[in-house]
Amino acid sequence: MAEIIANEGGGKQKGKKRSKRHSTHIDMTPMVDLACLLLTFFMLTTAFSKAKVMEIVLPEKTPKDQEQDAPEVDKDRALNIILVKDNKVLWYNGLADPTKPPLPTLNETDFSDEGIRRVVLQRNKDLFIQIEEMNKGIVEGTLKIPKDSVSARRKKMMTEDRKGPVILIKAADEVKYHNVVDIIDEMAICNVARYALVDINSVEKKMVADYLAGKASGAASLK
Amino acid sequence: MHAKPPKIDMTPMVDLFFLLLIFFILTATFRPQEAVMVDTPSSISNTTTPEKHIITLMISKDNLVFFNVDNGVDTSEHLRGKILQAVGQQYQIKFTPAEIKRFETMNSFSMPMDKLKDWINESDSKVRDAMHSGMPLDSIDNQLLMWIRYSRQYYPEFEVAIKGDRDADFKKVKRVIDILQDNNVNKFNLTTNLESVDISLDNL
């Protein structure tokens, strides 16, 4: 304590001496410190406050009195993804048509990198590689196209694609919002050209219920 | 004798600091306090929301739907006030000029029309935040539809942002999307957090 007081006293004395010599000199360090601090704060907060959005465009609703035909989808290209509760994903190839049995079998997977992404990527490999090569070319400078035509070119690749899957995304009851966003995001990651968010139909509802019930009874018998 | 300590003139640096500081203070826009915390899901999308002329529909964790609309770029248009008056007229509720003015500075809300007046006049923000009981959106009394309809009547190019909580039920979000489609809105912005994803084809 004594030391501190002595120091302070010494400081004061020095200050007095100095102030006598040139009285206009003010120590601006604390002010500059504060300015620096505020500057950092404002820089960081402005940079991070922008929210990002994902754009989706849905087809126009048809009036209720008009019969709506189910979308015509090529059977070989169709990939159905059904989201169910507890972050699970069921998928099957082709179309579920009760008039033409047997019904396709459901496969279960999840939202991880090794889950649904692998399924989608495998089906969409050609287009994905095509687009990735274009992106790589642009980054490395081997491919020279104006910046504003990149997305147009990407779109063209997507519309000309004839082999990739047509993905129908269906959400069962009790699905959380982030599951749907995740799956749409997955489409963007895998550069899927054609996908649609459609309502689940009764055939699929039954398939899902049967699948979940079968799994439950299987688990029970194991015990 | 000691050598003189080197002295650097920091005045230009400090000048620059202050200049930048003033710039950032002036450009910073503070986001007003939201009525609920919404934890948005993440996506790789990198597009940003338009700043103005946007209808924000928040769906909270407990599945309440919040409606918000901004005043527009030109605040002298008083879009919010006009919309409030129009919707009020629809439900035979008159708002005083003071209430309209207050409403213009307020944020998102989630309550039936008859409780809105109390919400506007409540001065304690804690009490106000507890008043959000949910926007009626069933087919008998679809007030969300009215809000969207009148908003678009005053400014047809309103963009719609849906800001759903990660754990909100998709059913509710779907219902909101259905209502929007009834109003001929077919383009939506889903507010998300940015995440980065790396994928390789090696393990295919």
* Packing angle of the helix pair A125-140, A116-123 (nearest 10 deg): 90
Of A38, A57, A188, the CB nearest to B187: A57
What integer pLDDT is reported at residue A49 of this predicted model?
59
What integer pLDDT is reported at residue A77 of this predicted model?
82
Q: Which residues pair with B69 in a beta bridge?
A: B55
What integer pLDDT is reported at residue A74 of this predicted model?
74
The C-alpha of B53 sits at a distance from chain A's nearest C-alpha, in angstroms, of: 15
What integer pLDDT is reported at residue A127 of this predicted model?
85
- Backbone torsions φ then ψ of B149, nearest 5 degrees: -60, -50
A176 secondary structure, DSSP code: B
- Between the alpha carbon of residue A164 and those of residues A128, A191, B144, the distances in Å are 9, 10, 39
How far is A127 from A119, CA to CA, in rounded Å?
14
> In terms of pLDDT, which residue wins out, B182 or A15?
B182
B46 touches chain A (CB under 8 A): yes
A42 touches chain B (CB under 8 A): yes
Q: Is residue B86 part of a domain?
A: yes
What integer pLDDT is reported at residue A10 of this predicted model?
43
A36 touches chain B (CB under 8 A): yes
The C-alpha of B92 sits at a distance from chain A's nearest C-alpha, in angstroms, of: 30
Q: Is residue B19 part of a domain?
A: no
The string over A168-190, giving b where at least 16 C-beta atoms fall within 10 Å of a residue's C-beta and e elsewhere, is: bbbbbeebbbbbbbbbbbbbebb
What integer pLDDT is reported at residue A67 of this predicted model?
55
Low pLDDT (below 70) residues in chain A = 1-23, 47-50, 62-72, 98, 100-101, 219-223
What integer pLDDT is reported at residue A15 of this predicted model?
47
Reading the block at residue A149, the tokens are: 């035509």
| Interval B106-122 mean pLDDT | 85
Q: Mapped to the 3 state alphabet, what secondary structure does chain B carry?
A: CCCCCCCCCCHHHHHHHHHHHHHHHHHCCCCCCCCCCCCCCEECCCEECCCCCEEEEEECCCCCEEEEECCCCCHHHCHHHHHHHHHHHHCCCCCCHHHHHHHHCCCCECCCHHHHHHHHHCCCHHHHHCCCCCCCECCCCEHHHHHHHHHHHHCCCCEEEEEECCCCEHHHHHHHHHHHHHCCCCEEEEEEEECCCCCCCCCC
Residues of B in contact with A187 (CB under 8 A): none
Contacts of B193 by beta carbon, 8 Å cutoff, 6+ apart? A52, B40, B41, B42, B43
Q: Are strands B187-194 and B42-43 parallel, antiparallel or unpaired?
A: parallel
Reading the block at residue A57, the tokens are: 């465009």
What's the pLDDT tens digit per position in A73-108?
Answer: 777 788 888 888 888 888 888 777 767 667 777 888
Q: Is residue B150 part of a domain?
A: yes
Reading the block at residue B171, the tokens are: 């059913």
Closest CA to A126 of A159, A156, A162: A162
The C-alpha of A18 sits at a distance from chain B's nearest C-alpha, in angstroms, of: 17
Closest CA to B183 of B115, B118, B137: B137
When mean pLDDT is compared over A8-12, A213-217, B138-142, B159-163, the highest value belongs to B159-163
B25 touches chain A (CB under 8 A): yes
Spatial contact of A69 and A62, defined as CB atoms under 8 Å apart: no
Q: Is residue B99 part of a domain?
A: yes
A21 touches chain B (CB under 8 A): no
In CATH, the architecture of A72-124+165-203 is 2-Layer Sandwich (3.30)
Tokens 């601006």 correspond to A28
What integer pLDDT is reported at residue A2 of this predicted model?
39
Reading the block at residue A87, the tokens are: 């972050």
Of B28, B31, B186, the CB nearest to A57: B186
Q: B157: buried, middle or exposed (CB in 10 Å: 19+, 13-18, 0-12)?
A: exposed
Q: Is residue B25 part of a domain?
A: no
What integer pLDDT is reported at residue A22 of this predicted model?
59
What integer pLDDT is reported at residue A54 of this predicted model?
83
Residue B34 has pLDDT above 60, yes or no: yes
B16 touches chain A (CB under 8 A): no
Count of structural domains, chain B: 1
CATH 3.30.420.270 in chain A, residue ranges? 72-124+165-203
Residues of B in contact with A175 (CB under 8 A): 169-171
What integer pLDDT is reported at residue B71 of this predicted model?
76
DSSP of A137-170, one letter per residue? HHHHTSS---GGGHHHHHHHHHHH--SS-EEEEE
- 3-class secondary-structure state, position A111: coil
For B127, the domain range is 54-193
Spatial contact of A82 and A153, defined as CB atoms under 8 Å apart: no
Q: Is residue B24 part of a domain?
A: no
